[in-house]
Amino acid sequence: MTPSRLTVILGIFLLVGSAFTTIPTPEWGFFGHRRINRLAVFTLDAEMMPFFRAHLEWVTEHAVDPDKRRYATEHEAVRHYIDLDHWSEDKTYDHVPERWTDALIWKAGLTIGSENWKVDTILQAPGNQKFSPESVVVFNNDRSRVEIPLGTCRGWWIRNVIPQYYEDQIVVPADSARALGLPAISAQEVTISEGFTDYGILPYHLESMHRRLTEAFREENPTKILRLAAEMGHYIGDAHVPLHTTENYNGQLTDQVGIHAFWESRLPELFADEEYDFFVGKATYIENPREYYWDIVMDSHVLVDSVLQSEWRLRQTFPEDQQMCFDERLGRTIRTQCPEFARAWATVMQGMVEERFRASILSVGSVWYSCWIDAGQPDLSRLVPNLANAETVDSLNAAVQRGKIKGRVHE
């Protein structure tokens, strides 16, 4: 082919190509999140299931509200992931705090007048695997360092910093800062910065949602129960996705852009209905929620390398012109992975997506069940939610229509 002809053909291809669009797909796709919540209802026991079955469509539909909320508030995006590898290049994670407060302290900085103090480290008491109250926070600046017991620091943080977490700037009066034990604070106030949140807070958010859902059961507030249960299902689904636990969340660091939606949207959409085994058994009680959520996230994280490497290898060996196909979706033509290519990847991953999908379903049911148990097993049969007034779905949809995700897209 002569160069000029090739140029013309390429030009035509580019022109035609621009008429196609790629529809952004959220995590687990809307398909996956909805399906996980829906099936979780059937893991519940006879005391819980009737209430959830009566609102099956609502719980299914609202599985995707947290993704929609990313368009409405900048604080939402970080709740869907944690970049574990950002905190540990050598892949040992024992030093990553399991408590949210500790995580915030761990990466904090304080500006007192013209002095900048930062947390240098958290020294752990010998024999402690994880931060505990005997641990000591070491603050330093250019000239000195000071050690403060972690228990003291935690209490101070919870009283002074956490209430301002969503403010643009966290400012604490010097009087209360003096109580922290930093020397010679002469300034009027102390400004606090934290460097943790941007890399994701998923496991901490799960723990906080767990408390809130338990509280909703305890209050016997059916509207709140359904809303929090539906949203909890979403975050649990996200925690089961390996690419939600890495900085390379969309293969953007390894020339594999698009792998996120390929794993969690394309594969389930192609194969879940026909091939996945959705019999996952009965919901079980979770003794230690914090440990439980960290286990999920770590189980996902150990799969990251395998997800990335298997797709990379497959792309080198699978015929290049048979990898991407055009597909009709909602009246639009989109470019997406061909079914045969997707099948080949699913095969080399040996059922990983199905396993995580199934684990998500059982986990969502188990969390709902555990929160209900912890709340004293309230009688749900008397509860009638007022879903007409349940959270401002219209305003979420309007935010999505306006169009831009605030914070990191993470897909």
Q: Which residues of this chain interact with Zn ion, rule CB under 5 A?
A: 27, 67, 80, 238
Look at residues 342, 385, 350, 69 and name the one whose alpha carbon lies nearest to residue 227.
385
Contact 266, 337 (CB under 8 A): yes
Q: Which is nearer to Zn ion, 134 or 247 (CB)?
A: 247
Nearer to Zn ion, 67 or 269 (CB): 67
Nearest approach, Cβ of residue 109 and Zn ion (Å): 29
- CB 265, min distance to Zn ion, A: 12
121, containing H or E segment: strand 115-123
* Min dist. Cβ of residue 223 to Zn ion (A): 22
**Cα separation of 407 and 411, whole Å?**
12
| Alpha carbons 397 and 401: distance in angstroms, whole number | 6
Please, are residues 187 and 112 in contact by the beta-carbon 8 Å criterion?
A: yes
Report the first-to-last Cα separation within the chain, whole angstroms: 39
CB closer to Zn ion out of 102 and 269? 269
Closest CB 269 distance from Zn ion, rounded Å: 16
- If the CB atoms of residues 39 and 170 are measured against Zn ion, the closer one turns out to be 39
Angle at 225 between CA 219 and CA 231, to 5 degrees: 140
CB of 133 to Zn ion, least distance (A): 33
Helices then strands (H, E): number in the chain?
17, 8
Nearest CA-CA partner of 302 in 87, 27, 91: 91
Choose between 139 and 249: whose C-beta lies nearer to Zn ion: 249
What 122-126 contacts at long range (C-beta under 8 Å, 24+ apart), as own/partner pairs, is: 122/97, 122/150, 123/147
CB nearer Zn ion, residue 27 or residue 269: 27
CB of 29 to Zn ion, least distance (A): 10
**Shortest Cβ contact with Zn ion: which residue?**
80
- C-alpha span between 342 and 347 (Å, rounded): 9
Nearest distance from residue 27's CB to Zn ion, in Å?
Answer: 4
Q: Shortest Cβ distance from residue 66 to Zn ion (Å)?
A: 6
CA distances from 382 to 48, 223, 320 (A): 12, 13, 59
* Alpha carbons 293 and 99: distance in angstroms, whole number: 11
- Residue 75 or 218: the one with the smaller Cβ distance to Zn ion is 75
Q: Which tokens go with 382? A: 């008397």
The whole-angstrom separation of Cα 224 and Cα 371 is 13
Q: Which is nearer to Zn ion, 113 or 407 (CB)?
A: 407
CB of 196 to Zn ion, least distance (A): 19
Separation of alpha carbons 201 and 236, rounded Å:
13
Nearer to Zn ion, 27 or 354 (CB): 27
